Each structure stands twice: as C-alpha cells, then as structure tokens.
Amino acid sequence: MHFTLRPFTINDLESFVKYANNPKIANNLTDKFPHPYTIEHGKMFIEKATKNNPTNIFAIDINGEACGGIGIHPQDDVQRKNAELGYWLAEPFWGNGIISKAIPQIVEYGFKNFDITRIYARPYGTNAASQRVLEKAGFKLEGKFEKTLFKNGEFLDEWIYAVRKK
C-alpha cells in the first residue's frame, strides 16, 4: 500500500481526529494520546507538530488523508544524543507493512537532521506487533522493565528498543 510521510497541516484535522479516535490506538500509546480523541486534541497536536524546524513529526498520508503519525523526539540534557521514536497508524491500514516501511525512513531522516547517535522506542510488553516491526526495522532490544508503566488501571512492562547511527 502506498503512503508518504509529510508535514502536518491544519487541513489534516478532520481525517486525523477520525482515525485517532480509537481506543485500540490509545491503549498502546501514552496517556498524552487520549480517548476519546476530540477536535480540540487534534488542533493542539497539529499546532505542536507544525512548530519545529526541522520538522520532527510527520503525517502518514494515505490517499490524501492523515492516517497516522510518526515522529522523532530529540531529548535534552544528558540524553541529548538520543531521540525517541513514536508512531501510530489508523486501524483500517494495519497489516499492510506501512509502519515497517515508515520507520526506516524516519530513522534515516532523524540521523541526517538531528545531532543524535541513538533512536529508541518504548513499546509496551503487551504490544507484540510494535515489537516485531521495530525488530524488522533493525532495532535491537536493549532492556525489559517489569511493571514500570501504569495504563488503564494496570501495570505494564516497558521494553526498550534502539538503533544506533552507523
């Protein structure tokens, strides 16, 4: 399935909110990604996603709609050579290899545009699909932390995957 990564615009608001308002997506992300996902949440997100230069958060565009997002989030202080990878894709497009293809693109972009040497992701221990996609993209499992995250009333394991600049 064809997709592109591109900067968000305010014109993405309607499609972004339509696809983001899904508990199956919110359940695998931090509580900063709420459910229900409202127009106001979408406006705040797009405002945040469009303010940085260079751009670090991109829309996953399928057929002209923002059907998800992927971003590189540079860290600061002693972690300033690191960036966190975050992503989600609308449920109707799961299983089409989109995220598997998007991750290498954003990793290449991140190493080229930011002063970083490591990109990491923190999927929940319950999110086997995200773990597989990271491994497929060349990320290595660096650690597992038991019951460190609290989501939807239960403790979850946190897995740390990373890839390093060559």
Sketch the domain layout of the chain as residue ranges.
Answer: 4-119
Looking at the chain, which runs of residues are DSSP E strands?
A: 4-7, 57-62, 65-74, 82-89, 118-121, 140-151, 154-164
Tens of pLDDT along 49-98? Answer: 999 999 999 999 999 999 999 999 999 999 999 999 999 999 999 999 99
Architecture of domain 4-119 in this structure = 3-Layer(aba) Sandwich (3.40)
pTM beyond 0.85: the answer is yes
Contacts of 96 (CB under 8 A, 6+ apart): 1
Asked if the model's pLDDT at residue 148 lies above 90, the reply is yes
Tens of pLDDT along 85-115? Answer: 999 999 999 999 999 999 999 999 999 999 9
Pair of tokens at residue 127: 């999110």
pLDDT score at 9: 97
